[in-house]
């Protein structure tokens, strides 16, 4: 049986995709072709994962667009926190990984148009993937210590439709606040949930050896201290590297 159609905020228009089609890939292609625009939200019927992509038409310079990646993670964290039992701890790894009780449940991503319009990219797509419950044939709970699902963490009563509705509402509210107040409130909310175990996603740093996470730069860059000094890891470069690790097109 199909999930009920989510009730999205008035500013959003939902587009349902069948299982097996990527909301992010489809939204990027349709936005590039001019068939989707600001407020179009594409979501998958996949019963086991929450997967959606939101098209935006930014009015800020390219570097600032990546700040919405962190807004999407904050929206996910706030939504899961509001709908799940209190013992479920939601944290983040820079730049895009979302954890439940320190095991990965999903990730955010963002793709920005190469074409500009009056100094801003023509479009961008922010996407989110959250594992709701184990897929058939996956390892039993506990067999992959670094990966989990919301179901495995005690959120069996959390429905995908309710979570999608909640995340979409939170995201629209956070984007509005970001447009009024800048990145600082998003920055602070994101840092409040940073993982205490490992602050950078596996593979995020382009070098081996000891390093210390110092915080976020003005638009979300990771400031890292190594033996050779302080370095800034760029969000978009690392997202490409993480997509390659996941076996997705960069």
Q: Are the CB atoms for 54 and 31 separated by under 8 Å?
A: no
Which two tokens mark 144?
């992959």
Kindly list the structural domains of the chain, giving each domain's residue range(s) and its CATH number in brackets, ordered by start: 13-203 (3.30.930.10)
DSSP H or E stretch at residue 192: helix 184-192
Largest CA distance in the chain: 57
Mean pLDDT lowest for which of 129-133, 170-174, 243-247? 243-247
pLDDT of 140 higher than 60: no
| Integer Cα distance of 96 and 120 in angstroms | 23
pLDDT one-digit tens code per residue, 33-86:
999 999 999 999 999 999 999 999 999 999 999 999 999 999 999 999 999 999
**pLDDT at position 244:** 92
Which two tokens mark 77?
């964290």
Helix 184-192 to helix 67-83 angle, to the nearest 10 degrees? 50
pLDDT of 4 higher than 80: no
Neighbours of 154 (CB within 10 A): 14
What percent of the chain has pLDDT above 70?
92
pLDDT of 113 higher than 50: yes
Which two tokens mark 243?
């997509």
pLDDT one-digit tens code per residue, 180-215:
999 999 999 999 999 999 999 998 987 766 788 999
Backbone angles phi, psi at 39, to 5 degrees: 95, -5
Q: Nearest-CA neighbor of 112 among 32, 41, 222, 181?
A: 32
**pLDDT at position 145:** 66
Average pLDDT along the chain: 92
- Averaged pLDDT, 148-168: 94
| Integer Cα distance of 54 and 43 in angstroms | 9
Which two tokens mark 102?
């320190």
CA neighbours within 13 Å on the CB side: how many for 79? 28
């Amino acid at each position: 049986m199909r999930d009920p159609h989510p009730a999205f905020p008035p500013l959003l228009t939902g587009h349902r995709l069948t299982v097996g089609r990527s909301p992010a890939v489809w939204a990027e292609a349709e936005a590039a072709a001019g068939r989707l625009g600001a407020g179009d939200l594409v979501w998958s019927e996949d019963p086991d994962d929450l997967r959606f992509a939101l098209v935006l038409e930014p009015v800020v310079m390219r570097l600032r667009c990546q700040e919405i990646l962190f807004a999407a993670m904050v929206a996910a964290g706030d939504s899961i926190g509001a709908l799940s039992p209190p013992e479920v701890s939601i944290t983040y790894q820079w730049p895009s990984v979302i954890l439940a009780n320190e095991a990965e449940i999903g990730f955010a991503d963002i793709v920005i148009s190469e074409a500009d319009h009056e100094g801003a990219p023509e479009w961008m797509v922010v996407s989110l993937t959250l594992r709701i419950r184990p897929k058939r044939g996956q390892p039993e709970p506990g067999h992959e210590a670094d990966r989990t699902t919301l179901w495995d963490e005690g959120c069996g009563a959390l429905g995908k439709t309710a979570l999608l509705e909640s995340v979409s509402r939170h995201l629209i509210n956070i984007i509005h606040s970001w447009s009024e107040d800048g990145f600082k409130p998003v920055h602070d909310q994101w840092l409040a949930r940073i993982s205490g175990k490992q602050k950078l996603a596996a593979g995020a740093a382009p070098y081996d050896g000891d390093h210390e996470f110092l915080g976020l730069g003005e638009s979300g860059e990771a400031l890292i201290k190594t033996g050779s000094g302080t370095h800034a890891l760029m969000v978009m470069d690392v997202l490409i590297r993480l997509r390659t690790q996941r076996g997705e097109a960069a």
